[in-house]
Chains A and B, each alone.
Chain A
Amino acid sequence: MPTTAKKLVSALALGTLAAAAGCAGTTASDENVALRMTVWTSNEDHLALFDSIADAYIADHPEIESITFESLPFEEYNTTLTTQIAGGNAPDLAWMGDLSADLIDSGALVPLTETLEGAEGWDYGDLVPSVTGEFSRDGELYAYPFSNSPFALYVNTDLLAEAGQTLDPAALTWDQVSALGSAVHAATGKGGFVVNDFNYSSWNTLATVWTAFGASAWNEDGTECGFASPEMTDAFTFLHNAVYTDESMPGPGVTADFFAGDAAFAVAQVSRAGNLDGSFAYDIQPLPQGPAGDYSVIGQAGMGVLQSSAHVEAATGFLAYLTDPENAAKLAQYFPPPRQSLLTGEGLAANNTKFTAEQLQTVVVDQVPGAVTLPNHTNPAEVAQKAKTALDAMWTPDADVPAVLASVCDAIDPLLAA
């Protein structure tokens, strides 16, 4: 077992003991504070970075005894975090993705704006306005958007060459991607384009496609369903044709992993570049254009402090330190930052072995300011399941696209109205 992992295990064990002691009736004191933060990465480099920042903070803050980072599996992160909160075993700080709306609405998160604005040298105005909306209510920030990873089009240039195709990056459109994918599939039997993580289940990732057609899952305040719109119909007609007519997109039940070399294109976040193992030549492009012109989509992750923490002040203090300009620059090695000052192609390239500064400029820096986020709603699990159940009918050769989309709205309308 590598030493980092060992350290992590013993740190976790200590954390659990400390938490158990806390439960046993000792009142929250301002000494021997043990903080716990749930995260969904289990990457050793990520955890080592967090540990080193935590160690530096503890050195200056004797009242803090330990700060542990608890890795929960991504897939069950929301369920596990909710269970912990419901079970009275909530962490002090937590990463959050699509659970943020529920957490904010139920008052489970500590407001951060005042603390961060007041923190010395923190420079609140440095935050890019487009990235704070997702984690704000009425102008108040509830989570620091530490990761703002744009979706981009990964290209397996080896597969394109094998199929005798070339890609013209200027004004690349979805129709061209589909045509190229179709040609690659016909020539090599490999997949054309895949939307990573979609797997015919996580439909919200398809926002990376339908935004190109000007569609959205629901309106701004999340009260009206957008699936039955003509734009959405165009988008799904395109996808349905890609699967069943052009065969440029692998169908349901077919595993085609771009990073294992099984597909010519993948829509995936820039942060997935770590999965490129050098077994094929690749390129990266901004998302292709659609009828609605240029657009960009980001997937966000935030870090917040839970109200239920026995040490809200200490936890908020640590969050301010973890996200100050100096540490934010360190985090930017792995997570595209929310700070204007850090969003430069060269800055990002300094720690990126997969892409050039120029590539990062086009797929990250140019995209973040105008980006939309993946659709997110309160009660995310139920919305996701209801829509998924209705959308399953889309993935048959003779599906009636408008009818299926109408049924999606029927399924989620009661939830949107609530």
Chain B
Amino acid sequence: MRTDAAARPPRFGPRARRAALYIALIVMAVPFVVPTLWMITSSFKPLNEIFASPPSFFSANPTGAAYAEAFSFQPFARQYFNSVYIALVVTATTMLVSSLAGYAFARIRFPGRNLLFVVVLVGLLVPGEVTIVPLFQMFKQAGLVNTHWPLILVTAFAAPCVLATFIMRQFFIALPIELEEAARIDGLGRFGIWRRICLPLARPALSAVAILTFLSSWNLYLEPTVYLTSPELFTLPQALTRFTDAYGGEMWNTQLAAATMTAVPVLVVFIFAQRQFVESLAHSGLKG
């Protein structure tokens, strides 16, 4: 210990630097962490404590009543299921569509390839607000308003999927081509090569795509607000804003309880999967 301290230059020793780094990180983490923690602890407060002044972190009389209320007030379990299944269907579809297209744009030469790639990229740039009114009319014509189809189809094929296609293309471009040539000699066709050779190698890019797509579906707010009117079809973000009494008054503690229930499971999954997540993005080809 003593020798350490003696050897250290007075101001910028590794320990001081490390301490400074920790302090900076802890201070910076406050706005990232405190709201979530406050959301969780406040969901156990009775209504009159939520706005108590001075504010408290923990409740004097904790109660789980808001959690029960969340389920009795709306078909919340059903809404939970809706969000989960829509996100899963969208994610699976996107993985399939984007890995096929990304592979073709990276590896197969066909007339018009670059032009068609630009056309697809346009899908990434058109804000959802431009297309939502016409899409609403189209889905209305098709009789699909107040169903989950618009939420599934648009997310699985439009902007989030285009981003996924872009990621997959970048990954496949960087993949060494020798493997494919060997497979080709073994008599595999394009589909076989994609399925047997490239997809297994593309696991990091696919998991990055899966995570990003899942999150964009999970967080969708404008679209369900526009397309869905029956509470049993609602998704979670939309349901969260519906915890109001018969006159529009906010049911704050119920909202917080519901928000906690929507956030915590995803957070837990993320905590366990975070290393793989960062690694998969690192190797997804997204770095350029």
Given contacts A42-B73, A70-B230, contact A23 B143 (CB under 8 A): yes
Q: Which residue of B lies closest to A16 (CB)?
A: B230
Contact A5 B244, beta carbon cutoff 8 Å: no
| Contact assessment for A9 and B51 in the assembled complex, using a CB-CB cutoff below 8 Å | no
CA distance A13 to B229 in the complex (A): 12
* Distance in Å: Cβ of A71 to nearest Cβ of chain B: 7
In the bound complex, CA of A361 to CA of B248 (Å): 27
Contact present for A13 and B248 (CB under 8 Å) = no
| A2 sits at the interface (CB 8 A) | yes
Binary interface encoding of chain B residues 230-253 relative to chain A, with 1 for a CB under 8 A from any of its CBs, else 0: 111100000001101111110000
Contact B226 A83 (CB under 8 A): yes
CB of B238 to closest CB in A, whole Å: 10
The CA of A329 and the CA of B148, in the complex, are separated in Å by 41
CB of A272 within 8 Å of the partner chain: yes
Q: How far is the CB of A370 from chain B (nearest CB, A)?
A: 24
Determine whether the beta carbon of B230 is less than 8 Å from that of A257.
no
> By the criterion CB–CB under 8 Å, are A262 and B51 in contact?
yes
Instruction: Mark contacts of A1-22 with chain B using CB atoms, 8 A cut-off: 1 yes-contact digit, 0 otherwise.
Output: 1100100010011001000100
Inter-chain CA distance A71–B77, complex, in Å, is 17
The answer, yes or no, to whether A292 is at the interface (CB within 8 Å) is no
Return B242 CB to nearest CB of chain A, in Å. 5
Total A-B contacts with CB atoms under 8 angstroms apart:
78
Q: Are B230 and A197 in contact (CB under 8 A)?
A: no
B136 within 8 A of A: yes
User: Which B residues touch A2, using CB under 8 A?
Assistant: 72
Chain A residues with CB under 8 A of B47:
257, 260
Contact of B229 among A5, A83, A197, A255 (CB under 8 A): A83
CA distance A367 to B102 in the complex (A): 70
Contact between chains at A71 and B231 (CB < 8 Å): yes
B226 cross-chain contacts in A, Cβ below 8 A:
83
Given contacts A43-B246, A75-B248, contact A261 B229 (CB under 8 A): no
Is B149 an interface position by the 8 A CB rule? no
Are A257 and B51 in touch, CB under 8 angstroms? yes
- Measured CB to CB, the nearest residue on chain B to A189 is B53
Confirm or deny: A121 has a beta carbon within 8 angstroms of a beta carbon on chain B: no
Task: Indicate with 1 or 0, residue by residue over A144-167, a CB within 8 angstroms of chain B CB atoms.
Answer: 000000000000000000000000
Instruction: Decide yes or no whether B75 CB sits under 8 A from chain A.
Output: yes
Asked if A13 and B232 make an inter-chain contact with CB atoms under 8 angstroms apart, the answer reads yes
Q: How far is the CA of A189 from the CA of B52 in the complex (A)?
A: 11
Given A5-B75, A89-B146, A261-B48, decide whether A12 and B246 contact each other with a Cβ distance below 8 A: no
B230, A40: Cβ atoms closer than 8 Å? no
For window 75-106 of A, CB contacts with B under 8 Å fall at 75-76, 80, 83-84, 86-89
Report the nearest A residue to B233, measured CB to CB: A16
Q: Which of A39-65 contact B (CB under 8 A)?
A: 40-43, 46
Q: Which single residue of chain B is at the shortest CB-CB distance from A334?
A: B246
Residues of A near B53 (CB, < 8 A) are: 189
Instruction: Check: B18 CB closer than 8 A to any chain A CB.
Output: no
Is B78 in contact with chain A by the CB < 8 A criterion? yes
A191 to chain B, nearest CB (A): 11
- Determine if B140 is an interface residue (Cβ-Cβ < 8 Å): yes
Report the separation of the CA atoms of residues A261 and B73 in the bound assembly, to the nearest whole angstrom: 24
The distance in angstroms between the C-alpha atoms of A253 and B3, with both chains bound, is 57
One of A9, A73, A255 near B78 (C-beta < 8 A): A9
- B148: shortest Cβ distance to chain A, in Å? 12
Say yes or no: A275 contacts B245, CB within 8 Å.
yes
CB-CB under 8 A from A269, the residues of chain B are 247
Residue of A nearest to B49 (CB): A260
* B124 within 8 A of partner (CB): no
Which B residue's beta carbon lies closest to that of A80?
B229
| Chain B residue nearest to A202 in the complex (CB) | B248
Contacts of A76 in B (CB 8 A): 225
Residues B246 and A40 in contact, CB atoms below 8 Å apart = yes
A12 touches B72 (CB 8 A): no
- The yes or no answer to A384 lying at the interface (CB within 8 A) is no
Q: Does A72 contact B (CB under 8 A)?
A: yes
CA distance A260 to B146 in the complex (A): 37
Task: Give the docked Cα–Cα distance between A73 and B73 (Å).
Answer: 11
In angstroms, how far is the closest chain A Cβ from the Cβ of B38? Answer: 15
User: Is A87 touching B78 in the complex (CB atoms < 8 A)?
Assistant: no
Smallest CB–CB gap between A64 and chain B, Å? 21
Pairs of residues from A and B, 7 with the lowest C-beta to C-beta distance, nearest first:
A74-B248, A260-B48, A41-B246, A73-B242, A75-B248, A87-B145, A87-B140
Q: A73-B244, A260-B48 are in contact. List 11 more A-B contacts (CB 8 A).
A: A13-B232, A16-B233, A24-B143, A42-B74, A46-B246, A73-B242, A74-B247, A197-B249, A260-B51, A262-B51, A279-B48
Using a CB–CB cutoff of 8 Å, the interface residues on chain B facing chain A are 47-48, 51, 53, 71-75, 77-78, 136, 140, 143, 145-146, 225-226, 229-233, 241-242, 244-249
* 15 A-B pairs whose Cβ atoms sit less than 8 Å apart in the complex: A1-B71, A1-B77, A5-B72, A9-B75, A9-B232, A13-B232, A16-B233, A40-B246, A42-B246, A73-B244, A73-B248, A76-B225, A83-B226, A197-B247, A262-B51
